[in-house]
Amino acid sequence: MSSPSIAVIGAGVIGLSVALRLQEKDHHVTIIAKDFPSPSETVDPRAAINYASQWAGAHNRFCPPRDDIDDALAARDHAMSLVTFDRMDDLARRHPEAGITFMKGVEYLEDPGPEYRSLSPVRAAELGYREFRLYRRDEFPDDRVKMGFEYRTWCVNPMVYCSFLLRRFVRRGGRVVRRELLREREAFTIPELANPVRVVLNCSGHGFGDPNSFITRGQTCVVANECSETVTRQKADGSWTFVIPRNFDGGTIIGGTKEPDNWHSEPSPDVRTRLLDTLASTYPPILQTGGGKMHVLSDIVGRRPTRKGGMRLEKEELGDGRLIVHAYGLGGRGYELSWGVADAVLELLSSGRARL
* CATH, residue 12: 3.40.50.720
Distance of CA 353 to the CA centre of its chain: 26
Do the domain assignments include residue 141?
A: no
Do the domain assignments include residue 241?
A: no
Do the domain assignments include residue 339?
A: yes
- For the chain, what is the largest distance between any 2 Cα atoms, rounded to a whole number of angstroms? 70
Write the pLDDT tens digit of every residue in 108-154.
999 999 999 999 999 999 999 999 999 999 999 999 999 999 999 99
Do the domain assignments include residue 184?
A: yes
Q: Which residues, 6 or more positions from 93, have their beta carbon under 8 angstroms from its beta carbon?
A: none
DSSP assignment string, 251-273: -EEEE---EET----SPPHHHHH
pLDDT value at position 256? 87
Amino acid of residue 160? V
For residue 217, the surrounding DSSP H or E stretch is strand 213-223
| Residue 8: closest CA among 174, 159, 215, 191 | 174
Do the domain assignments include residue 38?
A: yes
In degrees to the nearest 10, what's the CA dihedral of 343, 166, 184, 196?
Answer: -90
Q: Which residue ranges in the chain fall short of pLDDT 50?
A: 1-2, 353-356
Write the pLDDT tens digit of every residue in 216-255.
999 999 999 999 999 999 999 988 999 999 888 889 999 9
Instruction: Give the residue ranges of DSSP H helices in the chain.
Output: 13-24, 52-55, 72-94, 114-117, 121-126, 158-171, 269-282, 285-288, 334-350
Do the domain assignments include residue 255?
A: no
**pTM to 2 decimals?**
0.94
Q: For residue 82, give the DSSP letter.
A: H
Separation CA 89–CA 102 (nearest Å) = 8
pLDDT value at position 1? 37
Handedness of CA 281, 282, 284, 290 (dihedral sign): negative
Separation CA 231–CA 75 (nearest Å) = 24
Do the domain assignments include residue 331?
A: yes
pLDDT value at position 88? 98
Number of domains in the chain: 1
Domain range holding 176?
1-58+157-211+308-356
Do the domain assignments include residue 99?
A: no
